Structure 1
């Protein structure tokens, strides 16, 4: 700029140089202001992102610390078996599985043979029936259907059909059911089919009932 002033010998030329210099300074200031605004914008964005991360962390922390439904129901299961014989049971007869091996939530009643759902959910049930004919001399077979019942509604049926009296037969059933809190589930003989034979359960083979909450 000094060189330019040396070459500029007129007042008009000097004023033009001053004007150009002021314009350059103004442009430089505007550029600095724009950069400052951009920096402020980035800072606000970073602050916003940081705040969101804090909120996410706090929310996640609450979810982790709060007992989840799944963790509270993982141990909901029962298993029981019958420790006696049932000789020619009648129709519509509830099977009593009187030996409890597992009953994590106290949901199975060994005196009534009934499971009570502790909460709404999807449940799995398995049951096994072992039968034999009344006697070899009676020349009769062991035949009987058994029902898995929820609130008096038949959900599953299995059939024992032993054609040779000197042998025994074992049958198993399995069902996955939706149940509401307080629903009752149990195993019984058929409501109308006439039962032929005895239900067995001993160290050679157990008549059993089990169930658990899936979710």
Structure 2
């Protein structure tokens, strides 16, 4: 009887030891799982921070591209201004050299009036409009009274996020090269009144909101709503706006509303963006 009791005690002690060891191992596993979970949460937060940084950098790159486009356009206008001034100088020089020698009264009268020298005309701030009035030559504004562009999207835009500039890459018309199909922005070549029209298409059971911008200002908004089927895949917007030289106009996704699907382009139609000069000012 004593032997049996002793054996039971030993067996029970062994069981308690095994149970204690299992409990200790389980406790260690739980600690490790908690550590792993903490690391995963930290990595997820770091990934979210990186996504925010990437989105910010993408927006900054888009703004830099638009700024570069403005600079290039202003450089082109500056070059045309120089060309007009050179024609002014050449024509003025020819007119002066062709005055007869015997016309001394006219020469004396010109000297008395103290006209500006050619060097002063070159170095002075002579406007294009002034040159046009003096010589009756076309100004740069008159040279580019026809300003227009029309561009399509040739492919689907997959999962665009908020605040995303849309590049309509297939250019059909681009008079004066004012539209940049890389940045998706139209840069104003002359001061005037412009009209713009744009359309977006999305697939069935999706929706998205899109804005047309003048620099950093929202000029118009459209909403594509195909949440409950396939009807209404297209939405179109149009604006009439006064623009100064160097102003940028472009289409983007809404700054806070993320589209729930891709921007669709296919054989049944696709997004487009067009603009034209109505009247110079």
Q: Could you tell me the TM-score, scaled by structure 2's length?
A: 0.49
Higher strand share: 1
Q: Tell me the residue number matched to 1:170.
A: 234
Distance 1:214 1:70, change over 3 A: farther
What is the number of equivalent residue pairs in this alignment? Answer: 147
Aligned positions of 1:1-215 closer than 5 A: 66-67=137-138, 71-133=142-204, 141-167=205-231, 169-215=233-279
Q: Deviation at 1:68? A: 6.8
| Structure 1 moving runs of 4+ over 4 Å | 68-71
* Residues in 2 aligned to 1:148 and 1:72: alpha-carbon distance in whole angstroms: 28
Larger radius of gyration: 1
Mapped contact 2:149–2:275 kept (Cα < 8 A):
yes
Higher helix share: 2
* Residues in 1 aligned to 2:246 and 2:139: alpha-carbon distance in whole angstroms: 21
Q: Describe the superposition over 1:11-65 as per-residue Cα deviations: whole angstroms up to 9, x where unpaired.
A: xxxxxxxxxxxxxxxxxxxxxxxxxxxxxxxxxxxxxxxxxxxxxxxxxxx89x6
Q: Deviation at 1:166? A: 4.5
| Greater RCO (Cα-Cα under 8 Å, separation 6 or more) | 1
Q: Deviation at 1:69? A: 7.3
Q: Deviation at 1:204? A: 1.3
| SS of residue in 2 equivalent to 1:132 | coil
RMSD: 2.1
Mapped contact 1:73–1:213 kept (Cα < 8 A):
no
Q: Deviation at 1:143? A: 1.1
Q: Which moved more, 1:106-115 or 1:165-174?
A: 165-174
| SS of residue in 2 equivalent to 1:198 | coil
Q: Deviation at 1:152? A: 1.2
Q: Could you tell me the TM-score, scaled by structure 1's length?
A: 0.63
| SS of residue in 2 equivalent to 1:214 | strand
Distance 1:168 1:86, change over 3 A: farther
Mapped contact 1:132–1:167 kept (Cα < 8 A):
no
Gaps of 5+ in 1: 1-61, 134-140
Q: Deviation at 1:164? A: 2.7
* Residues in 1 aligned to 2:220 and 2:187: alpha-carbon distance in whole angstroms: 17
* Residues in 2 aligned to 1:124 and 1:72: alpha-carbon distance in whole angstroms: 20
Mapped contact 2:141–2:190 kept (Cα < 8 A):
no
